[in-house]
């Protein structure tokens, strides 16, 4: 017999999930689409009653995005430019309906190769916070998602939030999503970039990530290394070479061929750098 729990605090939720595994539901925007025409018969833990997971907090050296923060909250929150890319992604997730219900953390936990939030969170060097009845831990997002729809979350754990370290003053970010239509579209390729400037106008550090071109979105570390120390201008994009995308392994599907994805990723990475360079 399927059961449904909607506890009002984290402790109760962790106690319940420690007892038996449950499908965790927040915005429902991945749960229901996976069950069209199928019975809703899993044991569910609905976490939306846990108020402590709803905040976006400035913790001094980092930002913390609670597990129940929706895309709309990201769009409407007053956040520094380092989050511009994430805001742009938030506006392009599904329609406004999905943005109002769906959570950033849910997007990460669903771990789709085309998850709109993941490239930005990779570029932001985010960490995923997990809690179980007995422990809490923090895992870099790159290690949290291990494959298509796979994460390191244990069955008795709940993701409670995302922690984003504060970078240097003046850090900028951007995000590009390529799809075959406007609105309500799953990306063919996505790119995200976060650039930390040095006082002399060169790149102190830059993080670039590409989504939908591998089972898990990937950082372009070789390119990032090459860009460090370069002047921040439109010329940044000239550094991009095809080899920098060697970490990607795009597949053919209904949205596009793997070959096209690779080619489009190259274009989008260049455009990402053009934007960051001219910001």
> Which residues form the interface with other proteins (CB under 8 A)?
1-4, 6, 25, 27-29, 31-33, 36-41, 44, 46, 48, 72, 91, 94-98, 100-101, 178, 180-186, 188, 254-257, 259-261, 263-264, 267-268
* Nearer Cβ to other proteins (67/203): 67
CB-wise, 185 or 198, nearer to other proteins? 185
Q: CB 273 → other proteins: shortest distance, Å?
A: 14
Cβ closer to other proteins: 78 or 182? 182
Q: How far apart are CA 21 and CA 45, in angstroms?
A: 9
The minimum distance between CB 237 and other proteins, in angstroms, equals 12
Nearer residue to other proteins within complex by CB, 32 or 138: 32
Q: Of 122, 110, 150, which is closest to residue 220 (Cα–Cα)?
A: 122
Q: Minimum Å distance from CB 70 to other proteins?
A: 9
User: Would you list the DSSP string of 63-105?
Assistant: EEEETT-BHHHHHHS---GGGHHHHHHHHHSSSHHHHHH-BHH
Minimum gap (Å) between residue 39 Cβ and other proteins = 5
Least Å from the CB of residue 101 to other proteins: 5
β-pairing verdict for 150-151 and 172-178: unpaired
Return the number of the residue (49 or 170) whose C-beta is nearest other proteins.
Answer: 49
- Tell me the two tokens of residue 93: 């997730």
CA distance 232 to 50: 43
CB 175, CB 202: distance < 8 Å: no
CA distance 113 to 187: 10
Query: Is residue 9 classed as helix, strand or coil in its secondary structure?
Result: coil
**178 or 192, CB closer to other proteins?**
178
CB of 168 to other proteins, least distance (A): 32
Are 5 and 22 in contact by the 8 Å Cβ rule? The answer is: yes
Q: What is the 3-state secondary structure of 164-224? A: EECCCCCCEEEEEEECCCCCCCCCCEEEEEEEEECCCCEEEEEEEEEECCCCCCEECHHHH
């Amino acid at each position: 017999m399927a059961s449904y729990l909607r506890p009002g605090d984290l402790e109760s939720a962790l106690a319940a999930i420690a007892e038996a595994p449950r499908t965790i539901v927040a915005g429902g925007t991945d749960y229901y689409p996976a069950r069209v025409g199928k019975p809703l018969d899993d044991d569910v833990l609905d976490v939306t009653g846990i108020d402590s997971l709803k905040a976006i907090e400035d913790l001094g050296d980092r930002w913390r995005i609670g597990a129940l923060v929706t895309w709309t909250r990201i769009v409407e929150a007053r956040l520094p430019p380092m989050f511009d890319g994430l805001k742009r992604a938030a506006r392009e997730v599904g329609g406004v309906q999905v943005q109002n219900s769906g959570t950033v953390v849910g997007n990460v936990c669903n771990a789709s190769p085309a998850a709109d939030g993941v490239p930005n969170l990779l570029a932001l060097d985010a960490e995923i916070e997990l809690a179980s009845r007995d422990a809490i831990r923090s895992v870099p997002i790159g290690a949290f998602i291990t494959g298509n729809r796979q994460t390191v979350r244990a069955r008795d754990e709940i993701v409670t939030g995302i922690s984003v370290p504060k970078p240097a003053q003046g850090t900028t970010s951007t995000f590009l999503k390529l799809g075959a239509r406007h609105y309500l579209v799953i990306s063919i390729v996505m790119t995200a970039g976060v650039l930390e400037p040095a006082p002399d106008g060169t790149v102190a550090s830059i993080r670039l990530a590409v989504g939908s071109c591998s089972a898990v979105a990937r950082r372009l570390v070789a390119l990032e290394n090459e860009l460090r120390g370069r002047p921040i201008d439109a010329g940044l994009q000239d550094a991009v070479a095809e080899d920098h995308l060697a970490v990607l392994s795009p597949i053919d599907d209904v949205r596009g061929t793997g070959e096209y994805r690779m080619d489009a990723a190259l274009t989008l990475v260049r455009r990402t750098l053009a934007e960051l360079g001219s910001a």
